[in-house]
Structure 1
Amino acid sequence: MRATPAYLTVAALVMAVVAVSSSAPLIAFAAAPALAVAFWRNALAFAALTPISAGPRRAEVRTLLSADGLYCVLAGVALAAHFATWMPSVQLGSVATATALVATQPVWQGLLAAVTGSSASSSPSRLGWVGILLAVAGVAWATGVDVGVSTQAVVADLLALLGAMAAAVYTALGERARARLSTTTYTWACYGTCAALLLGVCLLAGVRMTGYDNRTWAAILALVIGAQLLGHSMFNYALHRVTATTVSVLILLEVPGAALLAWAWLGQAPRAEALPGLAVLVVGVAVVILAGARTRIAGRASASLADAADPSLN
């Protein structure tokens, strides 16, 4: 297979970081209810992927009637919970804080693995627990600052944390579904489930779904093309040249990236007192990601040695 040129990989990673960093500022900018923005974001992404799912992937789509399809639906429910909590947090509070708190997803994923015992290789190692403690300390610092700001800011922080927890569940379910499904089919099913659930919530809650100005529709389209489709697609493209761990750590650049965009575009300067806590949080999450990667590498090495030593496998 032809190797991907290094400059194209770098360009893809830069584009991906900018795309995902624009998500929170665009949500804050949109003059529409957060739940409605969440619906349109997923519904339009679902529509964009439908021609591929109905064409080249139609044979794979038929397999969604199996257990894989159930995992896709459950992942879509978790994704809906993620968007229904995190996106309102961006409009209620600070872009910088909301983005940093939702970035704690790997922390909750590690804790989930430790509690359920689903995979020894994904449970936190000693270094992983250090990272978790750092991240929790950063969360406590940042949210403690918001306690003195307003009740609304604290509610926004709690919603962002719930969004991170829901994202961890979404990822855990997705790992099972993607063991046999392509990324396109999996995301198409998830986005469709998520959009259907969010539509029901919006209709029941009487959320205004249309009648927005052109700037708001432009922001929603930018969310779909940027963070929803282009951002993660570019990260997937870059995986041909860089490791998944590198990509996971680079995604953390969304935190300062979103803060800078919100500052330059919306005039929303991060609270100076919260910045040290946000920095500790990001460092803690990075340690969790790196520790998890080291544990997985060690686990694969041990498994290889065991296979070589077991005569029944030869």
Structure 2
Amino acid sequence: MTDITSKPRSIALYDLLYMIGIIAISFSSIFVRWSEADVAVIAMYRLYLTNLLMLPFVWKYRHEFMRLSARQWRLLALSGVMLGAHFLLWMASLRLTTVASSTVLLTLEPLLVMLGSYWLFRTKANRMMLWGLGIALVGSILIGAGDFSLSGDALLGDVLSMLGAAAVAVHMLAGKQLRNEMSAFVYNFAVFFLAATSLAMYNIVLGNPFTGYSEREWGLFLLLAIVPTLFGHYLFNWLLKYMNAAAVSMAVLGEPVISSLLAWWLLHESLSGYQLAAGCFILFGVWLFIRHGKEKV
């Protein structure tokens, strides 16, 4: 691995790319709220269009694709289906609750990954990590209680966001194993395609139309593929080679902050003091967990 400690310019470049990634993923909720299509269709085309943009580079990795074992394909399928479920659940939550509540609840992902790692790999947590888990859970309860007082739909949106966080945690646990065995490109391309295909089957069952969308909708699908997916999620996977994994995972703390500000500016959503307080609980709890985590998850 490249020794970047002796290259200040490289460090500055990686920090810049890291900030670009945080800003990019923060736009995801805005694009979803602007779209009028069914959330399953939005998620499907977001991923298929990402695959289309990556297609010119597939030939370079053809031999690696051909060497994948049946076990690896099964894990890729699990990771892909869970990623598809994550997008479906989280995007649905944005139609029911505020961007602030939905995105801040997604920051529970590292905590859920920790619990999954303990169950699957017997990865242990220290006392400070458990404190972080408890504080974040208190914040989640506060958000749920506050949204329940507003409307049942808002509470349902919170639940969907938390289920989306659980789905992406399973996706990350499967990916943790697979990324040790294959390149980032092969993993991402296969998972994006399998996730999109699982969503396509879901749309067929529901009878959602695949065509007939306006140019504006196709533009939003493409923006979702380019901005939060390629310049966000894929960029973070690439940075894992050059930055500490704990530092990269800190990106989950930046998304709700920037997303909430963007929602306030572009969607005219208000931020209540209650939401801010509960959000701070969650963000501090997740920060505490990541800061004192000894195992990269």
Q: Distance in 2 between matches of 1:175 and 1:187?
A: 12
1:78 aligns with 2:82: yes
Q: How many angstroms does 1:66 deviate by?
A: 3.0
Q: Which runs of 5+ in 1 are unaligned?
A: 298-314
- 2:114 corresponds to: 110
Kindly report which structure 2 residues correspond to 1:59-208, keeping only aligned pairs within 5 A, or say none: 59-114=63-118, 116=119, 118-120=120-122, 122-208=123-209
Q: Which residue of 1 aligns with 2:253?
A: 252
* Preserved contact between residue 23 and residue 255 of structure 2 (Cα < 8 Å): yes
* Alpha-carbon distance in structure 2 between the residues aligned to 1:123 and 1:40: 39
Report the 3-state secondary structure (helix = DSSP H, G, I; strand = E; otherwise coil) of the residue aligned with 1:209: coil
Q: Deviations 1:186-237 (Å, cap 9, x if unpaired)?
A: 1111111111110111111122333233332222211110111111343345
Residues of 1 paired with 2:199 and 2:124: CA distance? 32
Cα distance, 1:241 vs structure 2? 5.1
Read off the aligned partner of 1:119 and give its amino acid letter. Answer: F
Gaps of 5+ in 2: none
Give the superposition deviation at 1:89: 0.5
Match among 36, 54, 59 for residue 41 of structure 2:
36
Residue 283 of structure 1: CA displacement?
1.0
Distance (whole Å) between structure 1 residues aligned to residue 29 and residue 271 of structure 2: 13
CA RMSD across the alignment: 1.8
Paired residues in the alignment total 291
Aligned identity (percent) is 28
Say yes or no: does 1:224 pair with 2:225.
yes
Letter in 1 for 2:90: W
| 1:271–1:106 distance in 2 versus 1, CA, 3 Å | same
Q: What SS does structure 2 have at the residue aligned with 1:5?
A: helix
The one-letter code sitting in structure 2 at the alignment partner of 1:60 is E
Report deviation, 1:238.
Answer: 4.2
Instruction: Give the SS at the match of 2:60.
Output: coil
SS for the counterpart of 1:56 is: helix
Note the alpha carbon deviations across 1:122-176, whole angstroms, 9 max, x for none. Answer: 3322111111101100000011100011111111000000000001100001111
1:270 to 1:220, Cα distance in 2 relative to 1, 3 A: farther
My pick for the range that moved more, 123-132 or 167-176, is: 123-132
Distance across 2 between alignment mates of 1:189 and 1:233: 13
Name which of 30, 49, 57 aligns with 2:61.
57
The CA distance in 2 between the partners of 1:242 and 1:155, in whole Å, is: 37
Find 2:10's aligned residue among 5, 17, 26: 5
For residue 40 of structure 1, give the secondary structure of its aligned residue in structure 2.
helix
CA distance in 1, matches of 2:60, 2:72: 19
- TM-score, length-scaled by structure 2: 0.92
Residue 291 of structure 2 is aligned to residue 296 of structure 1:
no
Are the aligned partners of 1:69 and 1:177 in contact in 2 as well (CA < 8 Å)? no
Once residues 106 and 7 of structure 1 are traced to their aligned partners in structure 2, the CA distance between those partners, rounded to angstroms, is 26
Say whether the 8 Å CA contact 1:142–1:275 is kept in structure 2. no
Larger-gyration structure (1/2): 1
Q: CA deviation at 1:240?
A: 5.7
Q: Is the 8 A contact 2:48 2:196 kept in 1?
A: yes
Judge which range, 33-42 or 224-233, deviates more.
Answer: 224-233
1:65 Cα shift? 3.6
TM-superposed CA distance for 1:273, in Å, is 1.7
Partner-residue secondary structure (3-state), 1:148: helix
Per-residue deviation, residues 45-94 of structure 1 (Å, max 9, x unmatched)? 122223322x1100010122431121111111111111121111112211
Cα distance in 1 between the residues matched to 2:153 and 2:244: 39
In structure 2, distance between residues paired with 1:18 and 1:99: 13
Q: Distance between the aligned counterparts of 2:96 and 2:114, measured in 1?
A: 28
TM-score (norm 1): 0.87
